[in-house]
């Protein structure tokens, strides 16, 4: 069982482009995050931290360019964070969460019905 790697919010923005693209050089990451206001330097720091914590590895492309590759998958991230969230906010109960979302009208009956149909189609 692999140890848990915590990814912070700022780091997550980088992971998202990496997950989407598979592997990117840092300039590529940077240009894909142009909407993001962070400086290039900030980006590099975040990338370095991701490498240090093992969330990303890199390969040398040529002498001064690297390709960064995600080491943990988006699924792993999602699963880990979902569990965390449900534990923290809903005492670990998915039921409790669902009930709350329905009560708060974040989920409608139509949503639920659609899901059931989807489930049956498989």
Closer Cβ to a copy of itself, 41 or 118, answer by number = 118
- DSSP line for 26-89: HHHHHHHTTTS---HHHHHHHHHHHHHTTSEEEEEEETTEEEEEESS-HHHHHHHHHHHHHHHH
Closest C-alpha among 58, 71, 63, 60 to residue 7: 71
Closer Cβ to a copy of itself, 40 or 106, answer by number = 106
CB of 62 to a copy of itself, least distance (A): 34
CB of 91 to DNA, least distance (A): 17
Question: How many CB atoms within 10 Å of residue 24?
Answer: 20
Q: How many chain residues are in contact with DNA, going by CB under 7 A?
A: 23
CB of 50 to a copy of itself, least distance (A): 16
Which of 3, 9, 91, 104 touches DNA by CB under 7 A? 9
The one of a copy of itself, DNA, none whose footprint includes residue 77, by CB under 5 to 8 A per kind, is a copy of itself
Closest C-alpha among 68, 59, 54 to residue 20: 68
- Work out the burial of residue 5: count CB atoms within 10 Å of its CB; fewer than 13 is exposed, 13-18 middle, 19 or more buried: middle
The one of DNA, a copy of itself, none whose footprint includes residue 27, by CB under 5 to 8 A per kind, is DNA
Residues that bind DNA (CB under 7 A): 6, 8-11, 25-27, 30, 37-39, 41-42, 44-46, 48, 62-66
């Amino acid at each position: 069982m692999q140890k848990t790697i915590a990814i912070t919010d700022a780091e997550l923005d980088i992971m998202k482009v990496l997950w989407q693209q598979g592997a990117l050089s840092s300039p590529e990451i940077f240009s894909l995050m142009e909407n993001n206001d962070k400086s290039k330097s900030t980006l590099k720091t975040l990338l370095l931290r991701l490498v240090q914590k093992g969330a990303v590895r890199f390969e040398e492309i040529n002498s001064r360019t690297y390709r960064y590759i995600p080491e943990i998958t988006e699924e792993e991230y999602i699963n880990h964070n979902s569990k965390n969230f449900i534990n923290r906010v809903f005492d670990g109960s998915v039921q409790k969460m669902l009930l709350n979302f329905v009560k708060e009208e974040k989920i409608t009956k139509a949503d639920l019905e659609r899901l059931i149909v989807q489930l049956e189609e498989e």
